[in-house]
Amino acid sequence: MANKKATLAIGSENIELDVLSGTLGSEEIDIRALGSKGYFTFDPGFTSTASCESKITYIDGDQGILLHRGFPIDQLANESTYLEVCYILLYGEPPTEKEFNTFKTTVTRHTMIHEQITRLFHGFRRDSHPMAVMCGVTGALAAFYHDSLDVNNERHREIAAFRLLSKMPTLAAMCYKYSLGQPFIYPQNNLSYAGNFLHMMFATPCEEYVVNPVLERAMDRILILHADHEQNASTSTVRTAGSSGANPFACIAAGIASLWGPAHGGANEAALKMLEEISSVEHIPEFIRRAKDKNDSFRLMGFGHRVYKNYDPRATVMRETCHEVLNELGMKDDLLEVAMELEHIALHDPYFIEKKLYPNVDFYSGIILKAMGIPSSMFTVIFALARTVGWIAHWNEMHADGIKIARPRQLYTGYTEREFKSNLKKG
């Protein structure tokens, strides 16, 4: 909605631009008209640029607010389940009992993968990073589901969404089993979404595996906390890939690839490795010094955020969950002690306060997942599994709004035209 104007004065020319306001958040200058006047804006990393309009998630970085379709993340994490949050993200409203049962049954009934996909795994080395495997097998789903690739067909998009939501836990658990050389465990339709994932991760054909309800609830909460987060790097990647009309499986594979980066979803694995490297409270000051040193590339993994300049509300819930899991398992984790001391120092150190570097969602998740017996190489796989619903919701929203291929401009600072002369001998 445009109810204000901004005037851009360039030389003797005044260009009037609409100022758009949403239901929440900052006003935004609509610069679309600039292109036709021969002007473009420069904003590497899109620190000041909105790429789209969306109704799915809202973040207020200064207030530490995160809403999914208007519902605060702490209420969803404490009072809902991941599958109900998936429904809300995809359809916009909480489901009725009947709607939820239909949704849950559909997801449950599509958790198995095509048996030939299991052979794809055997093309990878056993010690492959599971995110490399996830990128490969997720993209390969397009080779098995030709009946739901017409991105302009809403029903096709819904079928693909269910297939992805249903099969990501199965594929993720298969990555883990493959790395161990253990047999794949088939989904169990009588288990919850999180319970089924834990069962596929830790069960073996030799004996019954009973899912611990505290760990099941903790995993479900971790999935909720990672479900969606506005236009983060991986979601923007999915939207960009989808803007060319690419099929949903290829777009989600692109999102997985982007999430893998240590500055993004790879931070949970990197944060745990950092805590292990610090190893004791006595070593923290040295690492704090390195984090402040401009000439040292070291950063406190699990701290800082492009948007949150206050505490990440997800980290608050994650911290509570961390203590619940460790208490349930009767574990005293030295790394948690390091984490708590690191958090305390960072929250009181002028450098971090001035740069507003608070613990983010990745700071505690690694400790919980490690306590559950999950290797750090699987942390980002679980992040990808959880974020799939957010990627699908944004991909669908982009299609529903009418896609326009993403094609940013650039500031060219290379050579002007010059004549080519090869340095190579002819013939």
Q: Which residues are catalytic?
A: 305, 362
Among 156, 273, 299, 323, binds ligand SDX (CB under 6 A): 299
List 291, 322, 325, 338, residue binding ligand SDX (CB under 6 A): 291
> Whose Cβ is closer to ligand SDX: residue 34's or residue 307's?
307
Give every strand in the sheet of 65-68, ordered side by side.
57-60, 65-68, 71-72
Residue 264 binds to ligand SDX (criterion: CB under 6 A):
yes
**Residue 108 Cα distances to 12, 176, 407, angstroms:** 64, 21, 38
- The residues with which 10 forms a beta bridge, in sequence order, are 13
In the shown chain, the binding pattern of residues 344 to 373 toward ligand SDX, with x for contact by CB under 6 A and - for none, equals -----------x-x--xxx-----------
Candidates 250-258, 273-281, 305-313, 335-343 — which segment interacts with ligand SDX by CB under 6 A?
305-313
Q: Which CB sits closer to ligand SDX, 109 or 355?
A: 355
| Rg value, the chain, Cα | 23
Question: 110-114 — which CB contacts under 8 Å span 24+ positions?
Answer: 110/162, 110/163, 110/166, 110/167, 111/166, 111/167, 111/169, 111/170, 111/187, 111/189, 111/196, 112/167, 112/170, 112/186, 112/187, 113/167, 113/170, 113/171, 113/174, 114/144
Q: Pattern of binders to ligand SDX over 221-260, x per CB under 6 A?
A: --------x--x----------------------------
The two three-digit tokens of residue 262, written as one number = 């240590």
Q: Which residue, 104 or 314, is less far from ligand SDX as judged by CB?
A: 314
Stretch that binds ligand SDX, among 28-36, 205-213, 295-303, 336-344 (CB under 6 A): 295-303
Q: Pick out residues in 374-393 that bind ligand SDX (CB under 6 A).
A: none
Nearest residue to 362 (alpha-carbon basis) of 242, 234, 266: 266
User: What span, in angstroms and rounded, lies between the C-alpha atoms of 427 and 425?
Assistant: 7
How many binding residues for ligand SDX (CB under 6 A)? 21
Q: Which two tokens stand for residue 371?
A: 């306590």
By CB under 6 A, name the one of 263, 331, 353, 400 that touches ligand SDX.
263
Q: Is 120 in the site for ligand SDX (CB under 6 A)?
A: no
**Positions in the binding site for ligand SDX (CB under 6 A):** 229, 232, 263-265, 267, 291, 299-307, 355, 357, 360-362
